[in-house]
Structure 1
Amino acid sequence: MSYDVHGTQSWVDLGSPDSHASKAFYCDLFGWESYTLTFSGFADYEILTEGDSGPGIAGVQALADDTQSPSWTCVFRVDDVDACVGTVEAAGGRCLVDPTDVAQMARIAQFADTQGVEFAIWQPGPSGETTVIGERSAACFVELACRDLAEAGRFYGRVFGWSVMDADDGHPAWTRWKVGDQLVAGAVVMDDTWPADRPSQWTPYFDVPDCDAATGRAVELGARVRVPPADIDLGRFSIMTDPTGVRFALITLADPDR
């Protein structure tokens, strides 16, 4: 699977009310290391890595204030960040953070879609900075929970060129999207069984060798299980909230190349 194609997953970024606690939780759970980046005009930013000198897997930063909700932000690769702003706005989305250069690493921007779900885009910078996606212990899949699946499909189809990938069982409450023949994301309808005040959001799935064991370890570290380990066609997965209340998922892929 290629992650350098327009519209594919590129990065995950955690906004946390306690960045030190979040870093400790995920580093313990996945065996990650970390280092701190300081940029002019930005708060300190923690880069989580697969080793002392390995490429980045995820980022962690403290929330700016109490009005922000802790969450993972899913970041998608684009060919041209500035051009994508117009595409998002023409599709009905809102720009929350204007295109910004992060040192020589990347050019980024952040948006809300037509249902208020935040996401970001990333265009690699001159440094050719690489990230780890789709490998063991890294994010390998993202899933949108929303109230209107058809509207989400329209919006992201226009922004990223996604199209629907036929589901094996034709379940009307969820769908999967692709770029070309490549699976890039999934979506589930938040029906009446979901709490009315639950916001729509993106959730990253992290690849682990043993979903049950990793779920148990996450609970030991303070996570709460929302969906216990279960089998789907992609593999065995679980969904949890971390000790600060942020939703994330684990998956042991049945076919890592899928």
Structure 2
Amino acid sequence: MPTRNTPWPAGTPCWIDYGASDVDAARDFYGRLLGWEYTGGEPEYGGYLNATRDGEPAAGLGPLMNPADSPGWTTYFATDDAAATCARIREAGGTVVVEPMEVGPMGTMVIAADPQGNAFGLWQSGEHTGYRVFNEPGSLVWSEVAADDPAAAKEFYAAVFGFTYEDVPGAEGYQTFTLGDHPLGGVGGTQPGAAKGWTACFAVGSTDDTVAAVEAAGGKVTMAPMDTEYGRLAVVDDPWGAPFSVMQVPGDMPVPGS
């Protein structure tokens, strides 16, 4: 099981969390779907939960910060200096929605948006270094953004995080973003009826079984399971309309940020 217990390199997707309108229902749905157990939930942290897989942190779950927002997943990028990264976000035309905020001894969080309005977060780790299990069933395996203007999005994230990009053959302009030699996620254009912005892809033992479980729980399939060179992929909405994807991955999937 790939694990990491030290801070992720700056610019690496290092954490994901879910803002729920019904925390108990979301906890049950994702727990059953991805095999998660939970720790945390203390009042001083707003009832925020850490979802674990085999005892290792995989994701977070808590009440929506703004009850008027729709439930959904947020992707966080590691930073060694939240204030400096916020300055780069503003210089590149983005917006800082939540200024650097210390979360006790755990670390410092930021919520921001790129110039096209796609939200993302920053995490400067303290005691909490981000997800510690990855590329295994029930954990994050890929992060990507669907942007109205992919070229502008790539320019923004390169300015903020130093990303470089590589073409994916036959993927109609979709590119991976990298730091050094390791692909960390992808950037592509928006598609009719598909999710916009940052979405998370979770590794699963069986894509088809997971999709069936999503539908049985009241979610829906927005892209039926299909085989790709990276694994069997599907895109779904949870019962509250939040998009995410699932992929049955081969054992030699590259490790992000290693």
Unaligned runs of at least 5 residues, structure 1 = none
Aligned to 2:47: 44
Aligned to 1:188: 188
Matches within 5 A, 1:76-225: 76-126=77-127, 131-169=132-170, 171-172=172-173, 174-191=174-191, 194-195=192-193, 200-225=196-221
Aligned to 2:11: 7
Aligned counterpart for 2:230 among listed residues 216, 234, 250: 234
Higher mean C-alpha deviation, range 31-40 or range 209-218: 31-40
- Cα-Cα RMSD: 2.1
Cα displacement (A) at 1:256: 3.8
Cα displacement (A) at 1:190: 1.4
In the alignment, structure 1 residue 23 sits paired with structure 2 residue 27: yes
Aligned equivalents of 1:167, 1:225: Cα separation in 2? 25
Cα displacement (A) at 1:64: 3.8
Higher mean C-alpha deviation, range 132-141 or range 200-209: 132-141
Aligned equivalents of 1:28, 1:120: Cα separation in 2? 26
Aligned residue pairs: how many?
250
Aligned equivalents of 1:241, 1:127: Cα separation in 2? 29
Aligned counterpart for 2:37 among listed residues 33, 39, 56: 33
Confirm or deny: 8 A CA contact 1:12 1:59 kept in the other structure. yes
Aligned equivalents of 1:38, 1:209: Cα separation in 2? 31
**Kindly tell me: are residues 224 and 201 of structure 1, through their superposed partners in 2, closer, same or farther at Cα, counting changes over 3 Å?**
same
Percentage of matched positions with identical amino acids: 29
Cα displacement (A) at 1:184: 0.8
TM-score by length of 1: 0.89
Letter in 2 for 1:108: M
Q: Matched residue of 2:134: which SS?
A: coil
Letter in 2 for 1:190: T
Cα displacement (A) at 1:257: 3.1
Aligned equivalents of 2:129, 2:190: Cα separation in 1? 38
Confirm or deny: 8 A CA contact 2:34 2:137 kept in the other structure. no
Tell me the alpha carbon deviations over residues 72-100 of structure 1, each in whole angstroms, 9 at most, x when there is no partner.
00011112112111011111111111111
**Kindly tell me: are residues 93 and 199 of structure 1, through their superposed partners in 2, closer, same or farther at Cα, counting changes over 3 Å?**
farther
Confirm or deny: 8 A CA contact 1:176 1:185 kept in the other structure. yes
Confirm or deny: 8 A CA contact 1:92 1:113 kept in the other structure. yes
TM-score by length of 2: 0.89
Aligned equivalents of 2:14, 2:188: Cα separation in 1? 21
**Kindly tell me: are residues 257 and 250 of structure 1, through their superposed partners in 2, closer, same or farther at Cα, counting changes over 3 Å?**
same
